[in-house]
Amino acid sequence: MHKEKIIHYKQRAELLLKLLRRDYLVKKMALDAEFSVTEEPVKFADKDGYDYNPIREGESWGMNCSAAGFM
């Protein structure tokens, strides 16, 4: 009985790892984004009326409680 449980849990762990690799462990890509900081949130339909600046991973895009749109 103990050996059967070990085999069962090993198979479950292997399946979980396979699913994680398929769905989450993907190749990293460089961030390619632009942002625009506004006082208030902007409707998606109005997003093109703002100036956007490039941003890199780890950079700050605004102050606490700022709103920003990303492209």
* pLDDT number for residue 71: 59
Q: What is the mean pLDDT of residues 1-11?
A: 91
- Checking if the pLDDT of 8 tops 80, the result is yes
Closest among 68, 56, 11, 14 to 31, alpha carbons compared: 56
* pLDDT number for residue 27: 77
Burial bucket for residue 7 (CB in 10 Å: 0-12, 13-18, 19+) = exposed
For residue 70 the two structure tokens come to 């990303």
DSSP 68: E
* pLDDT number for residue 29: 78
- Domain segments of the chain as ranges: 2-70
Q: What is the pLDDT of residues 10-65, one digit of tens each?
A: 999 999 999 998 888 877 778 888 988 888 888 889 989 888 989 888 888 777 76
